[in-house]
Amino acid sequence: MTEHRIASTLLSRRDLRFLLHEWLRVGELCDRPRFADHSAEMFDDVLALSERIATERFAPHNRAADIHEPRMDDDGRVVLVPEVGEALAAFAEAGLLGASMDEAVGGMQLPHTVTSAAYAWFQAANIGTSAYAFLTVGAANLLQACGSPEQIDRWVTPMVDGRFFGTMCLSETQAGSSLADVATRAEPQDDGTYRVFGNKMWISGGDHELGENIVHLVLARLPGAPAGVKGISLLLVPRVLLDDDGGLAERNDVVLAGVNHKMGFRGTVNTVLGFGEGVHRPGGEVGAVGYLVGAPNGGLAAMFHMMNEARIGVGMGAAALGYTGYLKALQYALERPQGRPIASKDPAQPQVPLVEHADVRRMLLAQKSWVEGAMALILYCGRLLDDAQTHPDDDARAQAALLLDVLTPITKSWPSQWGLAANDLAIQVHGGYGYTREYDVEQHYRDNRLNGIHEGTHGIQGLDLLGRKVTMRGGAGFVLLLQTIGTTIARASEAGDEPARLAAQLQAAVERLGQVTAAVWSQGDVELALANATAYLEAAGHIVVAWLWLEQWLAADGSGDDAFYEGKRQAARFFFAYELPRTGPQLDLLAQLDRTALDMQDAWF
């Protein structure tokens, strides 16, 4: 039996090269002033460095951090396995915390497309440890967008250095995802600061000893604020206060009230935090000291800078976990001898590898089509963000931003659903070994299950897509999406042969999506229109990923019969044959304005 060894079972560096250079052509970004000091070769160096650090410093303790999950010691401090801090120190030392940030704050000003690909290595290697870094990146980016120059200088620079970490403190026990019900309050003081009182739940990275400080970005209400989301402000509340020179001063009144224990993502401590409980403040003062970020009552708009980034980050994490599970299942199927060809009548014939069985190939192809499609979606959104920020043409910048806005809920939810499905099949390929702790795939499944909830459930993303993004600006974003897909369809149609046949299939699905979208809103009944928003999200997501598979086909076309390109074409064939047809029944259900869920009232038992 021929031995097959995969270069890495974290991600495929060959696929990343294809997506970045042959499809998205990131080297062309170096013509723009922001990236003028970079080159395509430097981008490859960053990816190679990321792969090495992820492989050597993050992956080895992934299982240990899962087994020895975070806990509180007798002094109320969070205890983590020591490798977590060591890995994050290596990440910071490599300058990766500031990969996409401005040089003015110590960043490298890399394109977001490249940074996303680099970060995927760490999420595939160890989703729990990487979360501390990426929460910090998100908090620093928010402060750069919405903070004052003084706040950027005092808080962002040490975050980029890896000395301070960051969190987002949104949810509360009584509110959950309903941020309109946030009750944490912030009382203004004569010195321009605020005293913050309240409790926050589900705060990832909320307390630990990994750095000198933790910068909490907290949603709270000022006195007299309007009810609902229009009355929410954003406060920067550090774990440790700073003196006038930026040095560490006394502990702020932020208290670790508890640690949540999860089915997955165990390496990331998840906390309950109390603000203003009078535990740490000296001299009898009460209230956690906080600093207003942005305008009063503008907190939710500011926080969306971090929330949208986090949503795409969740999608990337889900894609990366699905991807590494797929590669490990593929490696197992290549090596594990079991059974004989179905047509064989000779019991003495040697067993064949699992990959020789058609049903195993079906499962592997399904995983490949999902995870490589998800990776393409994430990196495409990275390119949109680069264009929205740096394209030399104003109209092109605006169009990229609009298209990214429409795609964000899909980019969060689709990889979270189908990356998890890939992990499910990875377990299946392993058979009984798959659900034992001796193999990584069971942990990947548990870790990935959380991504369907992180940063808004599928239901919330469906409401966002159908209720907001499709209808905003008179449907301009939705029309732009259909037109962009149409451009790809036209190119594939001109190519003829198989691409043209796939284009015709995609064209029919796109037209049906447009018709159904109009039908859903035709009655003017918001409750009815949104009753099946999750089905709409799934169908739209599959159509978008089918489009990106057609894009990949066109990028690979003419590249010869190399096995890599043929693998791309075969995965595209699979997606169009097995996956795109799923949208038909979903769109039919939506067109009928089905009321089954709405009409279910009191007949539960």
For residue 106, which of 140, 146, 78, 59 has the smallest C-alpha distance?
140
Q: Residue 297 has which token pair?
A: 């009552």
Place of tokens 């980034």: 309
Residue type, 22: E
560-568 long-range CB contacts below 8 Å, 24 or more apart?
Answer: 564/14, 564/15, 564/18, 567/368, 568/18, 568/372
Beta bridge partners of 254: 275
Work out whether strand 213-220 and strand 164-169 pair parallel, antiparallel, or are unpaired: parallel
**DSSP string of 420-446, one letter each residue:** HHHHHHHHHHHGGGGGSTTSTHHHHHH
Residues in the chain, overall count: 605
Q: Are 328 and 425 in contact (CB under 8 A)?
A: no
User: Longest C-alpha distance within the chain, in Å?
Assistant: 89
Residue 341, by phi and psi: left (phi above 0), alpha (psi -120 to 50) or beta?
A: beta
**DSSP string of 284-340, one letter each residue:** G--SEEEEEESSTT-HHHHHHHHHHHHHHHHHHHHHHHHHHHHHHHHHHHHH-B---
Place of tokens 């400080």: 213
Q: Are 451 and 168 in contact (CB under 8 A)?
A: no
Q: Are 30 and 20 in contact (CB under 8 A)?
A: no
For residue 163, which of 238, 64, 272, 67 has the smallest C-alpha distance?
238
Sign of CA dihedral 411, 416, 421, 424: positive
Annotated catalytic residue within 83, 455, 551, 579: 455
Q: Cα–Cα distances in Å, from 50 out to 119, 149, 160, 207, 580? A: 7, 31, 17, 26, 34
DSSP 223: T
In a 3-state reduction of DSSP, which class is residue 236? strand
Other CB atoms within 10 A of residue 165 CB: 27
Q: Who's near 555: CB < 8 A, 6+ residues apart? A: 18, 22, 23
Residue 252, by phi and psi: left (phi above 0), alpha (psi -120 to 50) or beta?
A: beta
Task: Please tell me the distance from the alpha carbon of residue 503 to that of residue 512, in angstroms, as a whole number.
Answer: 14
Give alpha helix (H) positions in 524-582: 526-529, 533-556, 563-574
For residue 408, which of 510, 508, 300, 544 has the smallest C-alpha distance?
544
Helix (H) or strand (E) holding 195: strand 194-204
Examine the residue annotation and report whether 83 is marked as an active-site residue of this protein. no
Catalytic machinery residues: 455
